[in-house]
Amino acid sequence: MMSQVVQRVVTGTPGLDKMLHGGLWPGRLYLLIGPPGSGKTTLAVQFLLEGVKRGENVLLVALTSPRPRYGRTSDRFSARTSTRYAC
């Protein structure tokens, strides 16, 4: 049987994609943990913007950060159903 190459999901952060050998595994759930100001939200938004750039549907669920922090970016997400999620 031929082996199948699984296409990685590019995160939108080139250095991280390199460390991950191309990106995240599709269909997996990832939990990003770090102290305040370490870049969790920035990484999540970069991930979603990469999806938008690629014509994918994305969804941002923000439970603690106030909406204005995401500025106009969040407006681009609001009417879409999702293939990429960041919570």
Ligand X SMILES: Nc1ncnc2c1ncn2[C@@H]1O[C@H](COP(=O)(O)OP(=O)(O)OP(=O)(O)O)[C@@H](O)[C@H]1O
User: How far apart, in Å, do the first and last CA atoms of the chain sit?
Assistant: 38
How far apart CA 74 and CA 83 sit, in angstroms, is 16
DSSP SS3 for 86: strand
Interface with Mg ion by CB under 5 A: which residues?
40-41
Residue 65's Cβ-side half-sphere holds a number of Cα atoms within 13 Å equal to 18
- Using CB under 6 A as the binding rule, whether residue 39 contacts ligand X is answered as yes
- Contact criterion met (CB below 8 Å) for 80 and 58: yes
Question: Binds 39, which of Mg ion, ligand X, none (CB < 5 to 8 A, cut-off by type)?
Answer: ligand X
The least CB distance from residue 7 to Mg ion, in Å, is: 28
Q: In the set 8, 40, 76, 80, which binds ligand X (CB under 6 A)?
A: 40
Residue 23, token pair as written in the block:
């990106």
Q: In the set 27, 36, 55, 68, which binds ligand X (CB under 6 A)?
A: 36
The least CB distance from residue 9 to ligand X, in Å, is: 20
Q: Which positions lie near ligand X, rule CB under 6 A?
A: 34, 36-42
